[in-house]
């Protein structure tokens, strides 16, 4: 005689139930991780790759840097994905200091990130004469250092610039001080804008080129470059540039 089971009892498949719980747990963990990454990259910091030599000798192509998002407040460019154009301004806005190294969106093409050094603040008058940068008619102190050795066939003139705040950093001039980028007219920095230059003064597309970059709206700031996280060369001899790992950016 067959054994009968009460019709009001439901028998569960424990195997399927366990699989469902595992899937649900995985999805929750994935969403939580994505939210943490989103919050960190938007509010705290984001890694960027240096693709060119415009910031030599301080930053090299192949450096991976950490950019602080909170240093100057937040705008639509703080996000790592596009936001609508009608979103304007900055939240918790703070101006950079002269000498800060900043990442920003090129105002002529805001799909592209640039990295340069802040030289002029709103209202400043900037000019370059014989390679010497003048801020409001006062020259930035420039001390000549040993040549920068880019390779065995290239010794490049190197200087230390010292700002009034005593912040200092190194710059290089690959050519002589008679070239056009070393002798400019006067740039008057508009309100809510910045004037930026690359540390590789003769090989940098920056605010000196008004048609290509020009003045940088404060809104276009992504953040302040703080540290080199990792650095990789382009040949087997210096593929891992360990001496640059976790180096502070000045």
Catalytic annotation, residues: 54, 116
Residue whose token pair is 């990792």: 230
State how far the Cα of 246 lies from the Cα of 118, in Å rounded to an integer. Answer: 22
State how far the Cα of 77 lies from the Cα of 113, in Å rounded to an integer. Answer: 10
State how far the Cα of 26 lies from the Cα of 20, in Å rounded to an integer. Answer: 10
State how far the Cα of 108 lies from the Cα of 80, in Å rounded to an integer. Answer: 19
Q: Which two tokens stand for residue 171?
A: 């710059």
DSSP state of 243: G
State how far the Cα of 66 lies from the Cα of 68, in Å rounded to an integer. Answer: 7
Q: What is the signed CA dihedral for 93, 97, 103, 109, rounded to 10 degrees? A: 70
* Cβ burial 62-88 (10 Å sphere, 16+ → b, else e): bbbbbbbbebbbbbbbbbeeeeeeeee
């Amino acid at each position: 005689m067959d054994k009968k089971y009460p019709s009001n009892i439901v028998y569960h498949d424990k195997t399927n139930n366990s699989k469902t719980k595992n899937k649900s747990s995985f999805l929750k963990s994935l969403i939580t991780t994505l939210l943490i990454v989103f919050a960190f990259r938007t509010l705290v910091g984001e890694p960027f790759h240096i693709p060119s030599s415009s910031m030599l000798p301080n930053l090299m192509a192949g450096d991976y840097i950490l950019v602080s998002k909170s240093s100057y407040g937040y705008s639509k460019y703080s996000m790592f994905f596009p936001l609508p154009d009608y979103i304007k301004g900055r939240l918790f806005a703070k101006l950079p200091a002269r000498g800060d190294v900043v990442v920003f969106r090129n105002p002529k093409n805001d799909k592209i990130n640039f990295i340069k050094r802040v030289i002029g603040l709103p209202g400043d008058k900037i000019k370059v004469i014989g390679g010497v940068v003048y801020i409001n008619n006062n020259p930035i102190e420039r001390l000549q250092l040993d040549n920068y050795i880019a390779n065995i066939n290239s010794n490049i003139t190197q200087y230390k610039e010292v700002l009034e705040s005593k912040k200092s950093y190194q710059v290089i001039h690959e050519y002589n001080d008679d070239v056009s980028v070393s002798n400019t007219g006067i740039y008057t920095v508009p309100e809510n804008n910045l004037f930026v230059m690359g540390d590789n003064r003769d090989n940098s597309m920056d605010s000196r080129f008004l048609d290509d970059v020009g003045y940088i709206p404060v809104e276009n700031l992504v953040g302040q470059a703080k540290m080199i996280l990792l650095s990789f060369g382009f040949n087997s001899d210096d593929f891992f540039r360990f001496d640059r790992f976790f180096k502070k950016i000045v």
